[in-house]
Amino acid sequence: MAKNIGFVSTRFAGTDGVTLEASKWAQVLKSMGHNYFWFAGLLDRKPEHSFLVPEAFFQHEKNRWIDKQIFGKKRRDPSVTDAIYELKSYLKKQLTEFIQTFNIDLLVTENVLTIPMHIPLGIALTELIAETQIPTIAHHHDFYWERTRFSVNAVGDYLRMAFPPSLPNIEHVVINSTAQEELALRTGITSIVIPNVLDFENPPDVDREKSKDFRKTIGLTPDDVLILQPTRVVQRKGIEHAIELVEELGDPRYKLVISHEAGDEGHEYAEWLKDQARDRGVDLRTLNLRISDPLNPDVNRKDLYTLWDIYPHSDFITYPSLYEGFGNAFLEAVYFKKPLLINRYAIFVSDIEPKEFDLIAMDGYLDRNTVQKVRNVIESPQRREKMVNTNFEIAKKYFSFDRLRRWLNLLLTNFFGSEF
């Protein structure tokens, strides 16, 4: 029996990890015969399936003012509490209307009950879920205790209440085993691990002409070697290691391209990277094109580039992250059969490395041996072919849409019974 499923977050737009993963879940749920709808403060989805509330966006002026009063401080003024509850009450009414408008049977909260980037929305959701007992899957990507910027705050009461809430009608989903352990230790909440996935049963459908145009658009010649850093420009992505790699490779044909611009966490790091690249003689290019979510059919238009147009023309992928909740870019590189350099961040070591992928890995620093391995892979078609085919088959086994379909089927069965 088809269900109406409501996705809720502060933003479903662009190519951030939460938006991308929500699009994948929606695609799989649709393939299972269900309908999906979107609630957020920033949306690029079909209007007829969307409920846009600008005040729900984490960068809305009301929420930004609240954030300035509560993070980095220990004491909360009563006027801030009043502002939180005023916005909470408004958002709760909007959420109620969303559920009624689309006759929602189940909510999927995407990181909004996880990381406290919008305290009023988290409280509004928690109260609504408790009062209505609506079946809810809380999909957690980044907990507040994983981010130092939330460690000093004046909202410990709200964090314990709603980030995440412990309610009987919520099934909690985390994206890695470490998060599962930490959630249980800190809150007593049990969860299941559903890692990030991709449609490995169906290789990517590449628009060759559009992809070819992309290379021209960013000024690359046929002889240039495109080293792709397929991430946002934030400090934990360790992009300085990618710059160091291109410097050590020592060939002017090698161009480092970053797929996303600086965004949510400021522009200082982006400026520092530009200085580093200039000082090291590295040709660094940050895209200022509109890059859309390739798994969102609502905006996947011919006049917009997606990540799926960038990967096919990449010769090598750098992914030297210091920390990741899971690693979308890792899966994407494997999906497009591209060789990559990866830093052994903690979740990679615990949840990905044991699957025995064939990768070039660094352990916090770049040495000559690692640089030589990269050079060998780029210059040897036979080595590259063996590596990427092995990795694709392993990912198909562990991180496919088929696996996600089974997990979601289990969760729906827990809520609605054996009809699923």
Confidence (pLDDT) at 268: 87
- Using alpha carbons, select from 39, 47, 46 the residue that is nearest to residue 96: 39
- Give the number of C-alpha atoms closer than 13 A to the C-alpha of residue 212, restricted to the C-beta side: 4
pLDDT of 327-336, one tens digit each? 888 999 999 9
Strand partners, 7: 38, 108
Beta strands 284-286 and 291-292, pairing class = unpaired
Beta strands 50-52 and 106-110, pairing class = unpaired
Q: Which fold has domain 4-197+401-416?
A: Rossmann fold (3.40.50)
Walk across the sheet containing 192-193 and list its strands: 50-52, 35-40, 4-8, 106-110, 136-140, 170-174, 192-193
**Is the pTM of the predicted complex or chain greater than 0.85?**
yes
- Could you give the angle at which helices 381-398 and 368-379 cross, rounded to 10 degrees? 100
CA–CA gap between residue 58 and residue 51 (Å, rounded): 16
Strand partners, 52: 40
Give residue limits of the domains in the chain.
4-197+401-416, 208-398
Confidence (pLDDT) at 84: 98
Amino acid code (one letter) for 341? L
CA–CA gap between residue 116 and residue 78 (Å, rounded): 19
pLDDT of 256-295, one tens digit each? 999 876 655 568 888 999 999 999 999 998 876 556 666 6
Q: Do domains 4-197+401-416 and 208-398 have the same CATH topology?
A: yes
Its CATH architecture, for the domain 208-398, is: 3-Layer(aba) Sandwich (3.40)
Spans of the chain, pLDDT less than 50:
none
CA–CA gap between residue 70 and residue 83 (Å, rounded): 12
Answer yes or no: are the C-beta atoms of 186 and 159 closer than 8 Å: no
Confidence (pLDDT) at 375: 94
